[in-house]
Structure 1
Amino acid sequence: MPISPNIIDTYSETDILASAANILEEKLTQSPAFSSIAETKSFLQFKLTSLGHETFCIMHLNSQHHLIEFEELFRGTINAAAVYPREVVKTVLVHNSAAVILVHNHPSGIAEPSQSDKDITHKLKEALALIDVPVLDHVIVGRDCVSFAERGVL
Protein backbone atom coordinates (compact mmCIF):
# COMPACT_ATOMS: atom_id res chain seq x y z
CA MET A 1 0.00 0.00 0.00
CA PRO A 2 1.64 3.27 -1.08
CA ILE A 3 2.06 5.99 1.51
CA SER A 4 0.56 9.35 0.70
CA PRO A 5 3.22 12.06 0.25
CA ASN A 6 1.16 14.31 2.54
CA ILE A 7 1.57 11.85 5.41
CA ILE A 8 5.33 11.70 4.97
CA ASP A 9 5.56 15.50 4.90
CA THR A 10 3.96 15.71 8.35
CA TYR A 11 6.67 13.58 9.99
CA SER A 12 10.35 14.40 10.25
CA GLU A 13 13.00 11.92 9.24
CA THR A 14 13.94 11.66 12.93
CA ASP A 15 10.37 10.70 13.87
CA ILE A 16 10.26 8.03 11.17
CA LEU A 17 13.65 6.58 12.19
CA ALA A 18 12.67 6.60 15.88
CA SER A 19 9.42 4.79 15.07
CA ALA A 20 11.27 2.21 12.98
CA ALA A 21 13.79 1.64 15.79
CA ASN A 22 10.95 1.16 18.30
CA ILE A 23 9.26 -1.38 16.03
CA LEU A 24 12.51 -3.31 15.55
CA GLU A 25 13.28 -3.28 19.27
CA GLU A 26 9.79 -4.52 20.10
CA LYS A 27 10.14 -7.33 17.56
CA LEU A 28 13.55 -8.33 18.92
CA THR A 29 12.43 -8.30 22.56
CA GLN A 30 9.36 -10.44 21.82
CA SER A 31 11.64 -13.34 21.01
CA PRO A 32 10.68 -16.50 22.89
CA ALA A 33 13.95 -16.56 24.83
CA PHE A 34 17.53 -15.35 24.70
CA SER A 35 18.86 -18.87 24.66
CA SER A 36 21.19 -18.69 21.66
CA ILE A 37 24.32 -16.61 21.48
CA ALA A 38 23.59 -15.59 17.86
CA GLU A 39 20.15 -14.25 18.81
CA THR A 40 21.58 -12.34 21.76
CA LYS A 41 24.38 -10.84 19.66
CA SER A 42 21.94 -9.60 17.01
CA PHE A 43 19.81 -7.89 19.65
CA LEU A 44 22.83 -6.29 21.31
CA GLN A 45 24.39 -5.04 18.09
CA PHE A 46 21.09 -3.37 17.27
CA LYS A 47 21.03 -1.70 20.70
CA LEU A 48 24.66 -0.62 21.15
CA THR A 49 26.72 -0.47 17.95
CA SER A 50 26.06 3.18 17.16
CA LEU A 51 26.84 4.62 20.61
CA GLY A 52 29.79 7.00 20.90
CA HIS A 53 30.28 6.38 24.62
CA GLU A 54 30.86 3.24 26.65
CA THR A 55 27.85 1.88 28.47
CA PHE A 56 27.42 -1.10 30.77
CA CYS A 57 24.05 -2.79 30.58
CA ILE A 58 22.30 -5.81 31.97
CA MET A 59 19.70 -8.07 30.44
CA HIS A 60 17.36 -9.16 33.23
CA LEU A 61 15.92 -12.59 32.38
CA ASN A 62 13.20 -14.69 33.94
CA SER A 63 13.54 -18.43 34.61
CA GLN A 64 12.75 -19.27 30.96
CA HIS A 65 15.35 -16.68 29.84
CA HIS A 66 12.74 -14.29 28.49
CA LEU A 67 13.76 -10.67 28.70
CA ILE A 68 12.31 -8.85 31.70
CA GLU A 69 14.18 -5.65 30.93
CA PHE A 70 17.25 -4.38 29.15
CA GLU A 71 18.77 -1.79 31.47
CA GLU A 72 21.65 0.63 31.04
CA LEU A 73 23.29 0.73 34.47
CA PHE A 74 26.45 2.75 33.94
CA ARG A 75 27.38 5.29 31.31
CA GLY A 76 30.99 6.18 30.70
CA THR A 77 33.25 8.04 28.35
CA ILE A 78 34.69 7.00 24.99
CA ASN A 79 36.81 4.25 26.52
CA ALA A 80 35.63 3.41 30.05
CA ALA A 81 32.62 3.03 32.32
CA ALA A 82 32.81 2.50 36.08
CA VAL A 83 30.86 -0.57 37.22
CA TYR A 84 29.82 -1.13 40.84
CA PRO A 85 28.90 -4.71 41.88
CA ARG A 86 26.67 -3.44 44.71
CA GLU A 87 24.48 -1.52 42.21
CA VAL A 88 24.29 -4.54 39.91
CA VAL A 89 23.09 -6.78 42.76
CA LYS A 90 20.51 -4.16 43.82
CA THR A 91 18.97 -3.91 40.35
CA VAL A 92 18.92 -7.69 39.92
CA LEU A 93 16.95 -7.97 43.16
CA VAL A 94 14.57 -5.15 42.15
CA HIS A 95 13.80 -6.87 38.83
CA ASN A 96 13.58 -10.31 40.46
CA SER A 97 15.90 -11.64 37.77
CA ALA A 98 16.41 -15.39 37.56
CA ALA A 99 19.49 -14.97 35.35
CA VAL A 100 21.38 -12.15 33.68
CA ILE A 101 23.49 -11.37 30.67
CA LEU A 102 26.07 -8.63 31.19
CA VAL A 103 26.72 -6.33 28.26
CA HIS A 104 28.93 -3.43 27.39
CA ASN A 105 30.18 -1.80 24.26
CA HIS A 106 33.54 -0.64 23.01
CA PRO A 107 32.97 2.54 20.94
CA SER A 108 36.37 1.97 19.29
CA GLY A 109 34.75 -0.94 17.45
CA ILE A 110 37.27 -3.44 18.81
CA ALA A 111 35.32 -5.91 20.94
CA GLU A 112 38.33 -7.76 22.38
CA PRO A 113 37.98 -7.94 26.21
CA SER A 114 40.54 -6.11 28.34
CA GLN A 115 41.89 -7.48 31.61
CA SER A 116 39.60 -5.09 33.50
CA ASP A 117 36.62 -6.51 31.52
CA LYS A 118 37.60 -9.99 32.68
CA ASP A 119 38.13 -8.82 36.27
CA ILE A 120 34.74 -7.10 36.60
CA THR A 121 33.02 -10.11 35.05
CA HIS A 122 34.59 -12.34 37.68
CA LYS A 123 33.57 -9.95 40.51
CA LEU A 124 29.99 -9.67 39.25
CA LYS A 125 29.69 -13.42 38.77
CA GLU A 126 30.83 -13.96 42.39
CA ALA A 127 28.50 -11.26 43.77
CA LEU A 128 25.47 -12.58 41.89
CA ALA A 129 26.25 -16.18 42.88
CA LEU A 130 25.66 -15.11 46.50
CA ILE A 131 22.01 -14.46 45.62
CA ASP A 132 21.72 -17.51 43.30
CA VAL A 133 21.50 -15.55 40.05
CA PRO A 134 23.67 -17.01 37.29
CA VAL A 135 25.54 -14.85 34.81
CA LEU A 136 24.81 -16.57 31.51
CA ASP A 137 27.18 -14.43 29.48
CA HIS A 138 29.07 -11.18 29.22
CA VAL A 139 28.95 -9.80 25.69
CA ILE A 140 31.14 -6.99 24.41
CA VAL A 141 29.77 -5.14 21.41
CA GLY A 142 32.01 -3.47 18.84
CA ARG A 143 32.00 -3.98 15.10
CA ASP A 144 31.61 -7.63 16.11
CA CYS A 145 30.47 -9.15 19.38
CA VAL A 146 32.61 -11.16 21.77
CA SER A 147 30.83 -13.59 24.05
CA PHE A 148 32.63 -14.74 27.18
CA ALA A 149 30.46 -17.87 27.28
CA GLU A 150 31.29 -18.69 23.67
CA ARG A 151 35.01 -18.35 24.44
CA GLY A 152 34.68 -20.50 27.56
CA VAL A 153 36.01 -17.78 29.89
CA LEU A 154 32.86 -17.28 31.92
Structure 2
Amino acid sequence: MALQDLPPDARPREKLLARGPAALGDAELLALLLRTGIRGKNVLHLSQELLDTFGGLAGLLGTGLADLKRIKGLGGTAKRAELAAVLEIARRAMGQQLAERAVFDSPATVRQYVQLHLASRPHEVFAVLFLDAQNRLLAMEELFRGTLTQTSVYPREVVLRALHHHAAATVLAHNHPSGSVQPSRADIQITQTLKAALALVDVRVLDHVIVAPGQSLSMAEDGLV
Protein backbone atom coordinates (compact mmCIF):
# COMPACT_ATOMS: atom_id res chain seq x y z
CA MET A 1 0.00 0.00 0.00
CA ALA A 2 1.36 3.43 -0.98
CA LEU A 3 1.00 6.65 1.00
CA GLN A 4 -1.67 7.96 -1.36
CA ASP A 5 -3.80 4.90 -0.60
CA LEU A 6 -3.96 5.73 3.12
CA PRO A 7 -6.89 7.71 4.53
CA PRO A 8 -6.28 11.48 4.19
CA ASP A 9 -5.84 12.02 7.94
CA ALA A 10 -3.26 9.22 8.08
CA ARG A 11 -1.02 10.49 5.30
CA PRO A 12 2.30 11.70 6.71
CA ARG A 13 2.90 14.22 3.91
CA GLU A 14 -0.40 16.02 4.47
CA LYS A 15 0.12 15.92 8.23
CA LEU A 16 3.59 17.42 7.87
CA LEU A 17 2.40 20.23 5.64
CA ALA A 18 -0.50 21.03 7.93
CA ARG A 19 1.22 20.74 11.31
CA GLY A 20 4.98 20.71 10.67
CA PRO A 21 7.54 17.86 10.77
CA ALA A 22 7.66 17.78 14.58
CA ALA A 23 4.04 16.52 14.59
CA LEU A 24 5.07 13.28 12.85
CA GLY A 25 6.15 10.15 14.64
CA ASP A 26 9.38 8.36 13.72
CA ALA A 27 7.58 5.78 11.59
CA GLU A 28 5.67 8.51 9.73
CA LEU A 29 8.87 10.41 8.91
CA LEU A 30 10.48 7.21 7.65
CA ALA A 31 7.38 6.39 5.61
CA LEU A 32 7.82 9.64 3.68
CA LEU A 33 11.22 8.38 2.54
CA LEU A 34 10.07 4.85 1.67
CA ARG A 35 6.81 5.99 -0.01
CA THR A 36 5.46 2.46 -0.61
CA GLY A 37 5.13 -0.72 1.39
CA ILE A 38 4.99 -4.29 0.19
CA ARG A 39 2.15 -6.79 -0.37
CA GLY A 40 0.35 -7.31 2.93
CA LYS A 41 2.25 -4.53 4.71
CA ASN A 42 1.62 -0.83 4.20
CA VAL A 43 4.44 1.67 4.27
CA LEU A 44 3.81 2.71 7.88
CA HIS A 45 4.03 -0.91 9.03
CA LEU A 46 7.22 -1.38 7.01
CA SER A 47 8.69 1.75 8.58
CA GLN A 48 7.85 0.56 12.08
CA GLU A 49 9.43 -2.82 11.32
CA LEU A 50 12.65 -1.05 10.35
CA LEU A 51 12.67 0.96 13.57
CA ASP A 52 11.96 -2.13 15.68
CA THR A 53 14.66 -4.15 13.92
CA PHE A 54 17.44 -1.62 14.28
CA GLY A 55 16.53 -0.04 17.61
CA GLY A 56 14.81 3.18 16.57
CA LEU A 57 16.18 6.09 14.58
CA ALA A 58 19.52 6.09 16.42
CA GLY A 59 20.09 2.44 15.55
CA LEU A 60 18.94 2.96 11.99
CA LEU A 61 21.45 5.78 11.54
CA GLY A 62 24.23 3.33 12.28
CA THR A 63 22.98 0.78 9.76
CA GLY A 64 24.84 -0.11 6.58
CA LEU A 65 23.62 -1.09 3.13
CA ALA A 66 24.12 -4.80 3.74
CA ASP A 67 21.89 -4.70 6.82
CA LEU A 68 19.17 -2.81 4.96
CA LYS A 69 19.21 -5.34 2.14
CA ARG A 70 18.11 -8.09 4.53
CA ILE A 71 14.80 -6.33 5.23
CA LYS A 72 11.99 -7.59 3.03
CA GLY A 73 10.76 -4.62 1.02
CA LEU A 74 14.20 -2.99 0.78
CA GLY A 75 15.67 -5.49 -1.63
CA GLY A 76 15.41 -3.03 -4.50
CA THR A 77 18.37 -0.75 -5.01
CA ALA A 78 16.39 2.52 -5.28
CA LYS A 79 14.87 2.46 -1.80
CA ARG A 80 18.07 1.30 -0.16
CA ALA A 81 20.10 3.95 -1.96
CA GLU A 82 17.74 6.74 -0.96
CA LEU A 83 17.59 5.64 2.66
CA ALA A 84 21.36 5.13 2.84
CA ALA A 85 21.89 8.62 1.41
CA VAL A 86 19.67 10.20 4.06
CA LEU A 87 21.45 8.29 6.82
CA GLU A 88 24.84 9.41 5.52
CA ILE A 89 23.65 13.04 5.38
CA ALA A 90 22.71 12.78 9.07
CA ARG A 91 26.13 11.35 9.96
CA ARG A 92 27.96 14.06 8.02
CA ALA A 93 25.83 16.80 9.54
CA MET A 94 26.82 15.65 13.01
CA GLY A 95 30.47 15.44 11.93
CA GLN A 96 30.27 19.00 10.66
CA GLN A 97 28.90 20.13 14.03
CA LEU A 98 31.90 18.59 15.76
CA ALA A 99 34.31 20.17 13.30
CA GLU A 100 32.85 23.67 13.77
CA ARG A 101 32.68 23.87 17.55
CA ALA A 102 34.51 22.64 20.60
CA VAL A 103 33.60 18.99 21.08
CA PHE A 104 33.13 19.27 24.81
CA ASP A 105 30.65 22.11 24.51
CA SER A 106 28.29 19.16 23.93
CA PRO A 107 29.67 15.79 25.16
CA ALA A 108 26.33 14.18 24.34
CA THR A 109 26.92 15.01 20.68
CA VAL A 110 30.23 13.14 20.80
CA ARG A 111 28.56 10.03 22.19
CA GLN A 112 25.82 10.24 19.57
CA TYR A 113 28.38 10.68 16.79
CA VAL A 114 30.35 7.64 17.92
CA GLN A 115 27.14 5.66 18.32
CA LEU A 116 26.08 6.45 14.76
CA HIS A 117 29.36 5.12 13.41
CA LEU A 118 30.08 2.14 15.66
CA ALA A 119 27.11 0.95 17.72
CA SER A 120 25.59 -1.36 15.10
CA ARG A 121 28.84 -3.10 14.10
CA PRO A 122 28.70 -6.88 14.63
CA HIS A 123 32.37 -6.94 15.66
CA GLU A 124 34.40 -4.77 18.01
CA VAL A 125 35.94 -1.66 16.41
CA PHE A 126 38.38 0.70 18.09
CA ALA A 127 38.42 4.27 16.76
CA VAL A 128 40.06 7.54 17.66
CA LEU A 129 38.69 11.05 17.27
CA PHE A 130 41.57 13.47 16.67
CA LEU A 131 40.96 17.02 17.93
CA ASP A 132 42.66 20.38 17.49
CA ALA A 133 43.69 22.75 20.30
CA GLN A 134 40.10 24.05 20.53
CA ASN A 135 38.78 20.47 20.85
CA ARG A 136 37.25 20.57 17.37
CA LEU A 137 37.13 17.39 15.32
CA LEU A 138 39.94 16.96 12.79
CA ALA A 139 39.23 13.35 11.86
CA MET A 140 37.84 10.09 13.14
CA GLU A 141 39.71 6.92 12.20
CA GLU A 142 38.85 3.28 12.79
CA LEU A 143 42.24 1.83 13.67
CA PHE A 144 41.71 -1.69 15.06
CA ARG A 145 39.14 -4.49 14.86
CA GLY A 146 38.53 -7.52 16.99
CA THR A 147 38.47 -8.15 20.72
CA LEU A 148 40.00 -5.25 22.61
CA THR A 149 43.16 -6.40 24.46
CA GLN A 150 46.59 -5.06 25.25
CA THR A 151 47.93 -6.85 22.18
CA SER A 152 45.24 -5.82 19.70
CA VAL A 153 45.62 -2.03 20.07
CA TYR A 154 49.01 -0.61 19.12
CA PRO A 155 49.95 2.63 20.93
CA ARG A 156 52.62 3.40 18.34
CA GLU A 157 50.01 3.47 15.54
CA VAL A 158 47.73 5.78 17.54
CA VAL A 159 50.65 8.14 18.26
CA LEU A 160 51.66 8.20 14.58
CA ARG A 161 48.10 9.04 13.49
CA ALA A 162 47.88 11.79 16.11
CA LEU A 163 51.10 13.32 14.80
CA HIS A 164 49.84 12.99 11.23
CA HIS A 165 46.75 15.04 12.07
CA HIS A 166 48.71 17.50 14.26
CA ALA A 167 46.22 16.66 16.98
CA ALA A 168 46.30 18.33 20.36
CA ALA A 169 43.86 15.89 21.95
CA THR A 170 41.99 12.67 21.29
CA VAL A 171 38.82 10.86 22.24
CA LEU A 172 39.11 7.08 22.22
CA ALA A 173 36.05 5.09 21.22
CA HIS A 174 34.92 1.53 20.68
CA ASN A 175 31.76 -0.55 20.57
CA HIS A 176 30.56 -3.50 22.61
CA PRO A 177 28.54 -5.83 20.33
CA SER A 178 27.39 -7.66 23.48
CA GLY A 179 25.08 -4.72 24.26
CA SER A 180 26.63 -3.71 27.59
CA VAL A 181 28.60 -0.47 27.75
CA GLN A 182 30.27 -1.16 31.09
CA PRO A 183 34.07 -0.87 30.70
CA SER A 184 36.07 -4.03 31.15
CA ARG A 185 39.45 -4.29 32.86
CA ALA A 186 41.03 -4.39 29.38
CA ASP A 187 39.20 -1.17 28.42
CA ILE A 188 40.63 0.60 31.45
CA GLN A 189 44.14 -0.76 30.83
CA ILE A 190 44.10 0.27 27.16
CA THR A 191 42.94 3.76 28.11
CA GLN A 192 45.79 4.24 30.56
CA THR A 193 48.37 2.78 28.14
CA LEU A 194 47.30 5.11 25.32
CA LYS A 195 47.06 8.08 27.68
CA ALA A 196 50.70 7.52 28.73
CA ALA A 197 51.92 6.97 25.15
CA LEU A 198 50.17 10.08 23.77
CA ALA A 199 51.40 12.20 26.68
CA LEU A 200 54.95 11.64 25.41
CA VAL A 201 54.06 13.73 22.32
CA ASP A 202 51.91 16.24 24.26
CA VAL A 203 48.58 14.87 23.05
CA ARG A 204 45.84 14.53 25.66
CA VAL A 205 43.26 11.77 25.98
CA LEU A 206 40.04 13.54 26.94
CA ASP A 207 37.66 10.60 27.04
CA HIS A 208 37.04 7.00 26.07
CA VAL A 209 33.50 6.47 24.79
CA ILE A 210 31.94 3.00 24.72
CA VAL A 211 28.79 2.45 22.67
CA ALA A 212 26.26 -0.29 22.00
CA PRO A 213 22.86 -0.15 20.27
CA GLY A 214 20.83 2.41 22.18
CA GLN A 215 23.50 2.97 24.85
CA SER A 216 26.70 4.94 25.39
CA LEU A 217 29.12 5.58 28.24
CA SER A 218 31.79 8.19 28.87
CA MET A 219 34.71 6.80 30.87
CA ALA A 220 35.78 10.37 31.68
CA GLU A 221 32.40 11.07 33.29
CA ASP A 222 32.87 7.89 35.34
CA GLY A 223 36.33 9.06 36.48
CA LEU A 224 38.19 6.35 34.53
CA VAL A 225 40.30 8.61 32.28
What interval of TM-score do these two structures reach, taking the shorter chain for normalisation? Answer: 0.7 to 0.9
TM-score by length of 2: 0.61
Q: 1:14 is matched with which residue: 66, 70, 80? A: 80
Which residue number in structure 2 is paired with residue 23 of structure 1? 89
Q: Give the Cα separation in 2 of the matches to 1:21 and 1:34.
A: 22
* Structure 1 residues 116 and 21, CA gap change in structure 2 (3 angstroms): same
**CA distance in 2 between partners of 1:48 and 1:125 (Å):** 22
Match of 1:97 in 2: 167
Identity of aligned residues (%): 44
Secondary structure class of the residue paired with 1:12? helix
Correspondence for 2:43: none
- Secondary structure of the residue aligned to 1:107 is coil
Give the alignment of 1:76-115 within 5 angstroms: 76=146, 79-80=147-148, 82-115=152-185
Choose between structure 1 and 2: higher strand proportion: 1
Post-superposition CA distance 1:50-87 (Å, at most 9, x none): 110100000011111111111000111xx446101011
TM-score (norm 1): 0.88
* CA shift digits 1:88-146 (9 cap, x unpaired): 10111111111100000001111111101100100000000011110010011114111
Aligned to 1:49: 119
Of the two, which has the highest radius of gyration? Answer: 2
- More relative contact order in 1 or in 2 (CA 8 Å, sep 6+)? 1
Q: Is the 8 A contact 2:120 2:212 kept in 1?
A: no
- Aligned position for 2:208: 138
The answer to whether residue 214 in structure 2 is matched with residue 148 in structure 1 is: no
Alpha-carbon separation, structure 1, partners of 2:116 and 2:102: 17
- Displacement of 1:11 in angstroms is 5.6
Q: Judging by fraction of residues, say which structure has more helix.
A: 2
Instruction: Please list every run of 5 or more consecutive structure 2 residues that lacks an aligned counterpart in the other structure.
Output: 1-12, 14-31, 36-75
- How many residues get paired? 147
Gaps of 5+ in 1: none
Aligned partners of 2:128 and 2:170 also within 8 Å: yes
Runs of 4+ in 1 over 2 A off after TM superposition: none
Is 1:37–1:150's contact at 8 Å kept on the other side of the alignment? no
Q: Which residue of structure 1 aligns with residue 22 of structure 2?
A: none
Matched, 1:34 2:103: yes
SS in 2 for 1:137: strand
CA shift, 1:18, in A, is: 2.1
Structure 2: distance between partners of 1:54 and 1:65: 26
What residue identity is the alignment partner of 1:33?
Answer: A
